[in-house]
Chain A
Amino acid sequence: MSLEENKATVRRFIEELNKRNITIMDELVAPAMVHPTLQVRGPESYKQFETMLWKAFPDWHETILDMVAEGDKVWLLAEVTATHKGEWLSFLPYINKKVRVAPTGKKTKFTYIGIYRIVDGKIAERLSIHAAVEFYKDIGVIEYKEVPEDVS
């Protein structure tokens, strides 16, 4: 697959999820796909995660701002906008805790980096890097104290 084809695969994946077409998972997610950030494995577990996400944030929408590809990798910068309208159950990386949050009605807007590995036109691996603290602050989950830690 060419770099442009791999980028088109990721672009289509995001666009179809924006349209709530969950069956895109069967087409584009490899059976052994892993997503360590979300602790998701394979299309069925990814579908469960996405369904839960859409219940919690019915208007969850991702806009691709930039994208690069090299070898079997596609990296993208995207902006998410969403309103927290349903119960949200999530895994917090680093903190290693699951959180369950009742709907707050709050809006969030943040950018993230998605790192994909594409094999034979299917998503074989995905990672996300995002300022989760900001996201959780937006929806009112986390109260935290600033310490000198400006290491970004």
Chain B
Amino acid sequence: MSLEENKAIIRKWVKAINLRDFTVLDEFIAPDYVDHTNQLRGMEDVRQFYIGAFKDFPDLQRTIEDIIAEGDKVWVHVKITGTSLAGKKIESEVVTIFRIVNRKIVEGRSIPQLVSKEKKLKIT
């Protein structure tokens, strides 16, 4: 697989999630996919994770800020915006490192930015 093909898979994946198109899970997520950050294993875990996230933030959207690839890895910098059920806006950034083998995403690890404006912060 070329680096551009691997990046295209991640772009399609982000777009499909924004459109709430869960059929992409079968297309791109490997059956034994592991998300190290959210402790997810396999497609069903991923499906449940997103169902939960969309329940809490119905308008959740991801925008790719930048994407880079080398070997079997794609690193993607994503901006996340959404509104909670209580009407609070959240804004976050995350970099996820995906590993892709034979057109399937087999592994993901995320580093999130400071999580949200919504947290109650006490600066001492």
Kindly state whether residue B64 has any CB partner on chain A within 8 Å: no
Q: Sort chain A's interface into a size bin.
A: 35 or more
The 8 nearest A-B residue pairs measured at CB: A132-B114, A68-B70, A152-B112, A113-B95, A148-B56, A144-B119, A143-B122, A145-B120
Chain A contacts with B in 54-76, Cβ cutoff 8 A: 66, 68-70, 73, 75
Kindly state whether residue A1 has any CB partner on chain B within 8 Å: no
- Note all chain B residues with C-beta closer than 8 A to A89: none
Whether the pair B84, A94 counts as a contact (CB closer than 8 A) is no
Q: Give me the interface of A with B, judged by CB distance under 8 Å.
A: 3, 66, 68-70, 73, 75, 77, 92-95, 97, 99, 101, 111-113, 115, 129-133, 140-152
19 contacts across the A-B interface (CB closer than 8 A): A66-B97, A68-B70, A68-B71, A70-B69, A75-B95, A77-B97, A92-B123, A95-B121, A129-B111, A132-B114, A145-B119, A145-B120, A148-B56, A149-B57, A151-B80, A151-B82, A152-B94, A152-B110, A152-B112
Kindly state whether residue B118 has any CB partner on chain A within 8 Å: yes
Chain B contacts with A in 53-93, Cβ cutoff 8 A: 53, 56-57, 60, 66, 68-71, 73, 75, 77, 80, 82, 84-85, 88, 90-93
CA gap between A133 and B70 in the complex, in Å = 30
Contact flag A150-B119 (CB < 8 Å), given A115-B77, A131-B114, A132-B113: no
Whether the pair B70, A149 counts as a contact (CB closer than 8 A) is no
- Note all chain A residues with C-beta closer than 8 A to B18: none
- Note all chain A residues with C-beta closer than 8 A to B52: 150
Chain B contacts with A in 89-105, Cβ cutoff 8 A: 90-95, 97
Of the listed residues A143, A144, A147, A152, the one surrounded by the most CB atoms of chain B closer than 10 A to its CB is: A152
